[in-house]
Structure 1
């Protein structure tokens, strides 16, 4: 059952450039390793892989490159790219290579963690708690909060342990809603 929140504040989007660059680097290393192993197997009859495994690695390399191009086109259109399918193809390729299971597990972890890491940043407020939609998700009960203020495009959450959380809001909030939100938070704190 999903929970309904009284207020959800959308925060300014953070850049996922680091996550995307790590994904691209992992994919580049995989394609290079797969092409090298496939070339060595098919040309020099390397006994490390069977010929069918070499062809599978070539096909997976083509699939990874194809998905990478798709992500590039998505990014050009202004849509956030997700490299998880290419990471899954790479994990499959690493499983094919002898002693590549450990690397495959790293790629599978990256595949499953990419989407939660790229969730849009939001803060939700209800009568019980404040929840940050992030990875990992952060929750604060009102009992640990000393003040919450939404003003001038910033939401400020002051915790009783002297920790201050300030985040920029994505869009301008009308003054009436700002006042309504601030009074809602003040009631929860008292």
Structure 2
């Protein structure tokens, strides 16, 4: 949890498990390498471009570095492996541009998917940094509370959001945050049904 000048409080949420996304990304890259090796063997090294070998090496190196990062419990990224795989599908002998476009889209979306999820609290609104951004006015909120590293937002429409914070929040900051939220809810004009 941190404070910055645009928001009075910013809460970073615990990142979810990206296991499914990582498996799909790994499969896309492994299939690309398998297709390249097949193409390499079928052309018998004649007319084969060594840039393709370098791009395959980029994919393998990215995976080795990602596995090392995974053991340090950081978020694994396959962006460079996906870009290299996309270029392999653009080049001879594979040359299937539509697959390359899919891989480039996957690489671009990875940043958004694995971006740390944060919720900003200002005097005007509550903002989620999802794509697209979600804004909630304080008048839509019945209660907002942070307790034992669990953020709870209770909305007037009976929607409840509960998320765990990324790191431990000191008791003093928790108290300040809860007081801030109570004050914003009390000061906002409440909707009447």
TM-score of the two chains, using structure 1 as the length reference:
0.84
* 1:38 and 2:40 correspond: yes
Aligned length: 182
| Structure 1 residues 135 and 19: CA distance shift in structure 2, 3 A | farther
- Residue by residue over 1:122-174, the C-alpha shift from the partner in whole angstroms, topping out at 9 and shown as x without a partner, is 22111111122334433222232222111232111112222110111233333
Q: 1:102 aligns with which of 98, 101, 120?
A: 98
Q: 1:137 aligns with which of 96, 116, 133?
A: 133
Q: What secondary structure is seen at the aligned counterpart in 2 of 1:42?
A: coil
Q: Distance in 2 between matches of 1:52 and 1:99?
A: 13
Contact residue 150 and residue 156 of structure 1 kept, 8 A: yes
- Residue by residue over 1:46-68, the C-alpha shift from the partner in whole angstroms, topping out at 9 and shown as x without a partner, is xxxxx144x43333222211221
Contact residue 35 and residue 57 of structure 1 kept, 8 A: no
Q: 2:121 aligns with which of 109, 121, 125?
A: 125
Q: CA deviation at 1:3?
A: 6.2
Q: Distance in 1 between matches of 2:57 and 2:174?
A: 52
Q: 2:19 aligns with which of 13, 17, 20?
A: 17
Higher percent of residues as helix: 1
Q: 1:86 aligns with which of 81, 91, 103?
A: 81
Contact residue 38 and residue 58 of structure 1 kept, 8 A: no
TM-score of the two chains, using structure 2 as the length reference:
0.83
Q: Distance in 2 between matches of 1:173 and 1:59?
A: 46
Q: What secondary structure is seen at the aligned counterpart in 1 of 2:157?
A: coil
* 1:74 and 2:69 correspond: yes
Q: CA deviation at 1:73?
A: 2.0
- In the other structure, the counterpart of 1:177 is 173
- In the other structure, the counterpart of 1:65 is 60
Contact residue 5 and residue 124 of structure 1 kept, 8 A: yes
- In the other structure, the counterpart of 1:152 is 148
